[in-house]
Structure 1
Amino acid sequence: MVFLPQEVIARKRDGEILSPEEIRHFIRGFAHGTVSHPQAAAFAMAVYFQDMNIEERVALTEAMRDSGKVLDWSDLDGPVVDKHSTGGVGDNVSLMLAPILAAAGVYVPMISGRGLGHTGGTLDKFDSIPGYMTNPDNAVFRKTVRDIGCAIIGQTDELAPADRTLYAIRDVTATVENISLITASILSKKLAAGLDALILDVKTGSGAFMKTPRQSRELAESLVTVANGAGVKTGALITDMNEPLASAAGNALEMRNAVDFLAGVNQDERLREVTLDLCAAALVLAGKHTSLDAARSQCEGLLDNGAAAEKFGQMVKALGGPADFIEKMDAYLTPAPIIRDVVARKAGTVSAINTRGVGMAVVALGGGRRMPTDKVDHAVGFDQLMGIGEQVGPDTPLARIHARDETSAAEAARRLTEAYDLQGEVQSTPLIADRIMPEGQ
């Protein structure tokens, strides 16, 4: 049977359910150039308005996964696991999670991204480490995963290339905000990494792309159902992003926060809870534990006894960074020239935070991108960020700013001050709003 792309577009435009074969042939044609960019844009618009059922989402995800190389880790002697976050502010969980899981005996080939909008990117954080290769060749990547247990790198051109091109089309045709397309975009890249298990951190709140618990749950359920339908054991936590997760926001500052966390120097309470709960869920999904409590207990031990910090240092060295980065990070993380407190306009209790506003203040400093081609200033951002329920005043600033120049410092301080509400009642939301695990786990 001959599949014509215009017929597939028309059927979805008219609200019909596409067969897996139709979806597979359409995406294969798009990857090989026999389906044009205008046809792909029309397809995305048809899906945006008519949506897809779960079977169609699975087929789309698998087709996009199979548009490029799918990694094979069958030579490893343990389960292969990864984590994905939908993005937040002060969300440096991956930096601790990967080495904790590696110390627990699973393999973590973590393929991460750069900052998007107001949210920080894991790769941008690692770019603050001199020499660290976020795009190593495949041999170095595989050797690091095999020998150390984890490697955090960027997406290669070989993984899910159809997604990269289709996302660029969606970005300029106002078709990004669709659960079916978001699901396939996120999962096609992760499933191309050849995983046995995947844990998802779906954010909700003022600093999340999904602002309400209902939206976040809809996305989490779609991701979990589709990933399991595609053969990867997957679960999700819905976590709060109504305030920055770490007390730092900005690339080198979040890296410093992570190293202090791993070394036991300082651990933000909310960050510790989310990190350990995600690690525990990942180990249960991977079959290393049957109990979340037992899995969490193991992760706590590996964090507190220094095993995770050791894995992190080994990974940094294996991927080209300094061998003594953990011990001497001050020698490698270059500070910003301007460092000073940001004081609130009046004393009070932090009742709410516009977390997106905090993220955009980091962008204003140069710590994020206004345009995709922008270079990131890794040194700038905030640390010592106050959280909801904390008292601020003349002697207890909102945060400490790290800036390149006075102009950006003033603008970012203004944005940060406006992001903090000191007047209303304290808005308390659960840190972990929900857990969605496969049946039986």
Structure 2
Amino acid sequence: MHIPTLIEHKRDGGVLTSEEIHYVIGAFTRGEMPDYQMSALAMAIFFRDMRPEETAALTEAMLHSGSMLLWNDHDPMRVDKHSTGGIGDKTSLVLAPLLACDSLWVPMISGRGLGITGGTLDKLESIPGFRTQLNEVEIHEVIDRVGCVMIGQTAGICPADKKLYALRDVTATVPSIPLITASIMSKKLAEGLNRLVLDVKYGSGAFMKTQEEAFRLAESLVTVGQAMGVRSSLRLSEMNEPTGESAGNALEVAECVRCLKGGGPQDLENIVLDLASAVSISPRSELAAMLHRGDAWRKFQQMVAAQGGSVEALEKMASIHRAPFIGELKATSSGMLIRVDAGGIGQAVLELGAGRSKAADPIDFAVGCDQIAKTGRQVQTGDVLLRVHARTKGALFRTLDHLQECIEIV
């Protein structure tokens, strides 16, 4: 096949066949198709979109560009979730061990944060010793022993996705629903799942700003999952205020420990139970009971130990990663708290150093915000609305000033 002709065809609004898509992805993965041609094709897809059958073919081609996790017929059912991210979105750390308590296997491949959305791997790596890079033998060993594993993408899984995402990130083609869908679903399908729940966020702190955009992405993800034989369910949720009460890596792990012990913020627990109910074999009430009696907490400790992490550190995360400067943002008036802007808080946390603008940026595990007040509550002048954890005094004061604009009381 002649690749420039295929690019031209898509540029002009044509439909690529499954054979053409598989050929292109194969050539790109092997290094036979130069980056500039794939960048041109990605831009053509960005502007011209793809039909559902094209997106499914792209997902399948990326999935088969590398290896998959293989399971035996008698193995437990494999389940997972994918979230499009958001400020304080820490649900994976509670959800995976909870589902493993329900006799399910959770081979969760996660990512790092880029932009204002925090990454699951960054949170996990704030736990001293925790290894997110395991080979496939180690993955199976942890799953056999614990029932859940939380890892980064291995070198063998979906190499086409790694190469293509690196190009999309620098060619302004990240916000393409077919390309987003293929990237997400190829990695999730490589886990060998039976069921998948998709948590698609919209709002000021989400990638998708409107419910309509989120629904379009969700529809694409579910359609591809069904086409590939994986039962996929959906949760659309607002991300106009942070999930839970913290945003920042070690601070979020500390919050997850509280939730795993049955004492976490109610909104975080509700999201976890919603997602778990969508893929589990037990009713929501039993899942809640597992959480409240500490089953998921014990399972999380087992997983941390199996992946080299320090179990003793889990209840001391706030002191192990303690920022030098901690300050409070207090209410300047009394009334109803009606806005705690997730996007603004996410940007502040990013600038403190808890996130990254480029993939190579270092992460500061200690910084962020906690004790974030929830909208809908009555506050009095002087009430603490959140705390800022900063590396320098200057960063603390700048962040407190910025966050004044993210709060609204009436």
Q: Normalization by structure 2: what TM-score?
A: 0.96
Following the alignment from structure 1 to structure 2, what is the Cα–Cα distance between the partners of residues 420 and 205?
Answer: 16
Shift of 1:332: 6.9
Counterpart selection for 1:303 from 280, 283, 291: 291
Following the alignment from structure 1 to structure 2, what is the Cα–Cα distance between the partners of residues 174 and 329?
Answer: 41
Q: For residue 377 of structure 1, what is the aligned residue in structure 2? A: 364
The superposition leaves residues 201-226 of structure 1 with CA deviations (integer Å, 9 ceiling, x where unpaired) of 00011111111111111110110011
Following the alignment from structure 1 to structure 2, what is the Cα–Cα distance between the partners of residues 296 and 400?
Answer: 33
Residues 1:151 and 1:181: Cα distance change in structure 2 (over 3 Å) = same
SS of the equivalent of 1:206 reads coil
Q: For residue 268 of structure 2, what is the aligned residue in structure 1? A: 271
Counterpart selection for 1:36 from 34, 37, 40: 34
Following the alignment from structure 1 to structure 2, what is the Cα–Cα distance between the partners of residues 109 and 392?
Answer: 43
Q: For residue 432 of structure 1, what is the aligned residue in structure 2? A: none
Mean CA deviation greater in 185-194 or 82-91: 185-194
**Match for 2:312: what amino acid?**
D
SS of the equivalent of 2:405 reads helix
- Matching of residue 82 in structure 1 with residue 69 in structure 2: no
Mean CA deviation greater in 69-78 or 225-234: 69-78
SS of the equivalent of 1:79 reads coil
Following the alignment from structure 1 to structure 2, what is the Cα–Cα distance between the partners of residues 370 and 171?
Answer: 11
Conserved? CA contact 1:313–1:324, under 8 Å: no
Conserved? CA contact 1:129–1:332, under 8 Å: no
- Matching of residue 355 in structure 1 with residue 346 in structure 2: no
Shift of 1:368: 1.0
**Match for 2:278: what amino acid?**
A
Following the alignment from structure 1 to structure 2, what is the Cα–Cα distance between the partners of residues 114 and 75?
Answer: 32
Shift of 1:325: 4.3
SS of the equivalent of 1:302 reads helix
Following the alignment from structure 1 to structure 2, what is the Cα–Cα distance between the partners of residues 299 and 76?
Answer: 24
- Matching of residue 282 in structure 1 with residue 270 in structure 2: no
Following the alignment from structure 1 to structure 2, what is the Cα–Cα distance between the partners of residues 132 and 35?
Answer: 37
1:233-248 equivalences in 2 (<5 Å): 233-248=231-246
Counterpart selection for 2:306 from 303, 318, 341: 318
**Match for 1:359: what amino acid?**
G
Shift of 1:340: 2.6
Q: For residue 214 of structure 2, what is the aligned residue in structure 1? A: 216
Following the alignment from structure 2 to structure 1, what is the Cα–Cα distance between the partners of residues 360 and 59?
Answer: 28
Shift of 1:17: 1.4
Percent of residue pairs identical: 47
Shift of 1:162: 0.9
Residues 1:54 and 1:13: Cα distance change in structure 2 (over 3 Å) = same
SS of the equivalent of 1:29 reads helix
Following the alignment from structure 1 to structure 2, what is the Cα–Cα distance between the partners of residues 211 and 148?
Answer: 37
**Match for 1:277: what amino acid?**
D
**Structure 1 unmatched ranges of 5 or more:** 289-293, 424-441
Following the alignment from structure 2 to structure 1, what is the Cα–Cα distance between the partners of residues 88 and 317?
Answer: 20
Conserved? CA contact 1:207–1:242, under 8 Å: yes
SS of the equivalent of 1:276 reads helix
SS of the equivalent of 2:369 reads strand
Conserved? CA contact 2:251–2:318, under 8 Å: no
Conserved? CA contact 2:83–2:199, under 8 Å: yes
**Match for 1:245: what amino acid?**
T
Mean CA deviation greater in 86-95 or 73-82: 73-82
Q: For residue 355 of structure 2, what is the aligned residue in structure 1? A: 368
Following the alignment from structure 2 to structure 1, what is the Cα–Cα distance between the partners of residues 135 and 17?
Answer: 37
Following the alignment from structure 1 to structure 2, what is the Cα–Cα distance between the partners of residues 345 and 395?
Answer: 6
Mean CA deviation greater in 70-79 or 93-102: 70-79
- Matching of residue 49 in structure 1 with residue 51 in structure 2: no
Conserved? CA contact 1:128–1:333, under 8 Å: no
RMSD after superposition: 1.6
Counterpart selection for 2:19 from 18, 21, 26: 21
SS of the equivalent of 1:23 reads helix
How many positions carry a matched residue from both structures? 410
Shift of 1:186: 1.1
**Match for 1:373: what amino acid?**
A
Q: For residue 229 of structure 1, what is the aligned residue in structure 2? A: 227
Q: For residue 161 of structure 1, what is the aligned residue in structure 2? A: 159
Conserved? CA contact 1:129–1:333, under 8 Å: no
Following the alignment from structure 2 to structure 1, what is the Cα–Cα distance between the partners of residues 326 and 166?
Answer: 37
The superposition leaves residues 324-365 of structure 1 with CA deviations (integer Å, 9 ceiling, x where unpaired) of 345x43587322122231123433322223211101111121
Following the alignment from structure 2 to structure 1, what is the Cα–Cα distance between the partners of residues 340 and 204?
Answer: 8
The superposition leaves residues 206-252 of structure 1 with CA deviations (integer Å, 9 ceiling, x where unpaired) of 11111111111111011001111112111110011111011011000
**Match for 1:222: what amino acid?**
S
Following the alignment from structure 1 to structure 2, what is the Cα–Cα distance between the partners of residues 85 and 139?
Answer: 26
Q: For residue 375 of structure 2, what is the aligned residue in structure 1? A: 388
- Matching of residue 339 in structure 1 with residue 336 in structure 2: no
Q: For residue 6 of structure 2, what is the aligned residue in structure 1? A: 8
Following the alignment from structure 2 to structure 1, what is the Cα–Cα distance between the partners of residues 171 and 313?
Answer: 44
- Matching of residue 400 in structure 1 with residue 361 in structure 2: no
Q: Normalization by structure 1: what TM-score?
A: 0.90
